[in-house]
Amino acid sequence: MLFNSIEFLVFFPVAVVLYFIIPKSIRNYWLLICSYYFYMCWNPKYIILLMAVTTVTYLSGVLIEKYNNVNIKKIVVATSFIVNVGLLFYFKYINFAISVMERLLSTIGLKIDVPVFDVILPVGISFYIFQALSYTMDVYRNEVYAEKNPFKYALFVSFFPQLVAGPIERSKNLLRQLAQPGEFIYENVRNGLLTMFWGYFLKLVIADRCAIVVDRVYSNVVEYRGYQLIVASLLFTLQIYCDFMSYSIIAKGAAKILGYELMDNFNMPYFASSIKDFWRRWHISLSSWLRDYLYIPLGGNQKGKLRTHINIIITFLISGLWHGAAFAFIFWGLLHGCLQIIEDVFGPYTKGILEKLKISPQNRLLKVIKIIIIFVIVDLAWVLFRANSFSDAITVYRNMWVKDSFEVIKNGVFELGLDKNNWCILLIGIIVLFTSSLMRYRLINLCDWISSKTFIVRYLIYWSAMIMIMFSMDITGKEFIYFQF
């Protein structure tokens, strides 16, 4: 069930209204039923997988807490990891691994023909497995108590607003909140609805429009000229941000209506002034997961420069692989890892140069230049992420620098799948997004700002946004990009 589907627009109000009508004591059970139903809408049989992950991690939590022996605890944690990562590997990486193995063996002259496994990637598997694993680790580290109530724990793993595309919640945050069923608080519901409204705006008005251009260009990159490739890559940068952020925002809004607070998954990532900063702002729930459960256990930055860099590379390699079973994702992850190492290595030198030039690190112009440079680098890296193959990505990199006259650009931009009207709507959407980001940069909350306006201004804003969403409805139906991960 997509958040931008009619089914969800029927399901969600029914779920919410009944949630608040029924007695508090059974509200969590109702949410669990709703969450399982929500997941089963994709493929009912995969509910077994979700239940298996829940059962394994639930039992591991209970066992870790029960035994004081560290070795037993370690065995339990390892078992939980092996089972969960094994499931993830089977459903997500098995065919990729086979093809890699075949290729490697063929380089030494060995030919094997392993049949392809007929597996469909269960939606959201990477998200809920990571969420469940974080719980196991947290219990092992004594950061949370093991949850004794299996239904409450099952709800933590399957909480429908964030089940299929995050944020990857932590037990410290969500499980704790689930102890107390949500109350109907008018302000919460109102703000939640406004948050969801903003999410739909980002998805329908910006992301889905960008997708039209991006899909067209990336389906046949050799056909397109330099500026068209640049436009497409810029739009993909926007698309993936708006698409993913919109899901997180809708999830956050939906949870808020129910009385729960989910973590922020984005913090203006394209305003980052370094790659490290970008990863502090982009998909925060995943990067913090990787930091807490992979990078730091590997030693983080505490074991010397070389080890730090190796840890960074491993973390980003896993991050790339998490996004998908393809070399493009691995390269993309590695590229970000390498960029971060380069930053680390050259950081002190650039600092020295700035000191010599007497330029303060807080200089506004310097900050803007840094933001632009990081944006361009991130944008170029997204090409690897989006291109259908590595050779396509190389074609984009090679051809995007070919110059064209203004006349050619003016006409050619309308050959990318959007007419004047749609370009206008997209442009307005981008301006709105940029303005809201600037407001957030200045610590102004968009919802609060709108609420502070007069009735007429408020409703003019709502209706304009609603009209733009409406005019985007027939170009929708696209799944959220991050579902595939």
Quick check: 221 and 387 in contact, CB under 8 A? yes
Choice between 318 and 475, CB closer to another protein: 475
Stretch that binds another protein, among 73-81, 155-163, 287-295, 472-480 (CB under 8 A): 472-480
Q: Is 79 exposed, middle or buried (0-12, 13-18, 19+ CB in 10 A)?
A: middle
Question: Nearest distance from residue 471's CB to another protein, in Å?
Answer: 5
463 lies in the binding site for another protein (CB under 8 A): yes
Stretch that binds another protein, among 116-124, 157-165, 234-242, 461-469 (CB under 8 A): 461-469
184 lies in the binding site for another protein (CB under 8 A): yes
336 noted as active-site residue:
no
Question: Nearest distance from residue 469's CB to another protein, in Å?
Answer: 9
Among 291, 82, 256, 157, which residue's Cα sits nearest to residue 300? Answer: 291
Residue type, 424: C
Quick check: 395 and 221 in contact, CB under 8 A? yes
- What's the CA gap between 127 and 216, in Å, rounded? 29
Question: Nearest distance from residue 213's CB to another protein, in Å?
Answer: 17
Residue type, 18: L
457 lies in the binding site for another protein (CB under 8 A): no
Residue type, 467: I
Stretch that binds another protein, among 128-136, 374-382, 430-438, 466-474 (CB under 8 A): 466-474
Q: Which of residues 188-247 bind another protein (CB under 8 A)?
A: 189-190, 193, 197
Question: Nearest distance from residue 4's CB to another protein, in Å?
Answer: 10
Q: Which two tokens stand for residue 152?
A: 């409450």
Among 162, 250, 217, which residue's Cα sits nearest to residue 396? Answer: 217
Stretch that binds another protein, among 37-45, 185-193, 284-292, 346-354 (CB under 8 A): 185-193
Choice between 337 and 429, CB closer to another protein: 429
Out of 283, 309, 323, 336, the active site residue is 323
Stretch that binds another protein, among 160-168, 282-290, 347-355, 465-473 (CB under 8 A): 465-473
Among 94, 476, 478, 484, contact with another protein (rule: CB under 8 A)? 476
Question: Nearest distance from residue 461's CB to another protein, in Å?
Answer: 10
Question: Nearest distance from residue 318's CB to another protein, in Å?
Answer: 35
- What's the CA gap between 64 and 140, in Å, rounded? 6
6 lies in the binding site for another protein (CB under 8 A): yes
450 lies in the binding site for another protein (CB under 8 A): no
Looking at beta carbons, which pairs linking 272-275 to residues 24 or more positions away fall under 8 Å?
Answer: 272/371, 272/374, 272/378, 273/367, 273/370, 273/371, 273/374, 274/343, 274/370, 274/374, 275/336, 275/339, 275/340, 275/343, 275/374, 275/377, 275/378
- What's the CA gap between 245 and 196, in Å, rounded? 11
Among 481, 482, 484, 485, which residue's Cα sits nearest to residue 215? Answer: 481
186 lies in the binding site for another protein (CB under 8 A): yes
Site string for another protein, 406-425 (x = CB under 8 A): ---------------x----
What is the contact surface with another protein in residues (CB under 8 A)?
6-7, 184, 186, 189-190, 193, 197, 421, 459, 462-463, 466-467, 470-476
Q: Active-site residue numbers? A: 323
